[in-house]
Amino acid sequence: MLHIGELAAALGSNVSITAVLLTARDATIGGRLAAKGVGSGLSAHLERSRARALELNQQAAGWVHRVATDSKSVTGIAREIIALPNWTEPDA
């Protein structure tokens, strides 16, 4: 997994990084996976999804912003991310 320091070094000087972890409840994830038509493999996909979500949440530092995506449109999620501290350029 790429570390923030390595990412900042690769991007150059004066870099500000805002990390975001998108989250969703199991029911939301189940509905999304079912809509993709994974069929008989749904249980396996759900189990892998739960395990990966738990792993990501545990490994992500406390300063990583968590954004719940349940019942939100892509536009709504994007607006919430853009509103995070330090995401947008300061007013000139």
In whole angstroms, how far apart are CA 21 and each of 24, 32, 34, 40, 69?
A: 10, 17, 22, 29, 10
Question: What's this model's pTM, rounded to 2 decimal places?
Answer: 0.75
The full set of domain ranges for the chain reads 17-82
The pLDDT confidence band at residue 73, using thresholds 50, 70 and 90, is very high
Buried b (16+ CB within 10 A) or exposed e, 42-62: eeebbeebeeebeeeeeeeee
pLDDT tens, position by position, 1-50: 557 788 888 888 788 788 899 999 989 988 888 888 767 788 888 899 89
